[in-house]
Amino acid sequence: ETGVTQTPRHLVMGMTNKKSLKCEQHLGHNAMYWYKQSAKKPLELMFVYSLEERVENNSVPSRFSPECPNSSHLFLHLHTLQPEDSALYLCASSQLYRGDYGYTFGSGTRLTVV
Amino acid sequence: GESVGLHLPTLSVQEGDNSIINCAYSNSASDYFIWYKQESGKGPQFIIDIRSNMDKRQGQRVTVLLNKTVKHLSLQIAATQPGDSAVYFCAESLKNTGNQFYFGTGTSLTVIP
């Protein structure tokens, strides 16, 4: 275990469904992130929760909605997704301003939109 | 945004040989770099990092070299093993962006037994 747990590991959903991805970190970090990983593309930062403030990437469609109820938990709510949203969604955490070690990633949720 | 690029998308090496994975970055203000390894079905895992005030850093079987003059980063893996087969990413962090990292597309390393 890396200290960052993501559930579910796999998710298949229709375009009209609503689902949520969950991330939990057990490292005492103060920042959490959602990344999208598509084939042959760099990791795309979607959302950041940093010191309990949300930093949003404006290019993320509104059909993705993050929620961070506390410093240990992060959710990504999904609704009316498109097939091109199929990807691996990675959660990460870090300790801000320590400057070392970067992110600790979870194993990801493999999302397939049908 | 920043550009972090890798010279080769795939690399195949014989077991026991040394591997070298390269990465180019474009912003001279980047001050912290990390190499990640991502195995199939898993998230990226931290391998080794280096700050811009260093040229070289060694870990267990891995060495990272930083050439700031040409903005180039490399990861050397000694005595490559089958378990080293994975995708390797470099990531750079820019000054004054908090803890935000920019990632390359990755190099897929295949170790031939």
| CA B103/CA B106 separation, integer angstroms | 8
* For residues B12-22, average pLDDT: 96
Overall average pLDDT of the B60-76 stretch: 96
User: Average pLDDT of B63-78?
Assistant: 96
Shortest distance between the Cα of B45 and any Cα of chain A, in A, equals: 7
CB contact under 8 A, B100 and A48: yes
Interface test with B, best of A27, A30, A43 (most B CBs within 10 A): A43
Dihedral sign of CA atoms B38, A85, A10, A2 in order: positive
Query: Using one digit for the tens of pLDDT, what is the confidence trace for A15-53?
Result: 989 999 999 999 999 899 999 999 878 888 899 898 767
The pLDDT mean for chain A works out to 89
Q: Please give the residue of chain A at the shortest CA–CA distance from B107.
A: A40
Distance from CA of B20 to the nearest CA of A (A): 20
* Dist CA A89 CA B99 (whole Å): 19
Q: Around Cβ A36, how many Cβ atoms within 10 Å? A: 20
Residue type present at position B106: G
pLDDT higher than 60, residue B1: no
Using the beta-carbon criterion (under 8 Å), do A31 and B99 form an inter-chain contact? yes
The secondary structure element, H or E, covering residue A40 is none
Write down the pLDDT at residue B97.
62
Chain B residues inside the 8 Å CB shell of A99 = 32, 99
For A1-114, where are the E strands, in sequence order? 4-7, 10-13, 18-25, 31-37, 44-50, 53-56, 64-70, 73-79, 87-94, 104-105, 109-113
Q: Which of B45, B42, B38 is nearest to A9 (CA)?
A: B42
Measure Cα distances from B16 to B11, B13, B86 in Å: 14, 8, 16
Q: Confirm if A47 and A107 have CB atoms less than 8 A apart.
A: no
Instruction: Report the pLDDT value the prediction gives residue B26, as an integer from 0 to 100.
Output: 79
Residue A93 exposure: Cα atoms within 13 Å on the Cβ side: 25
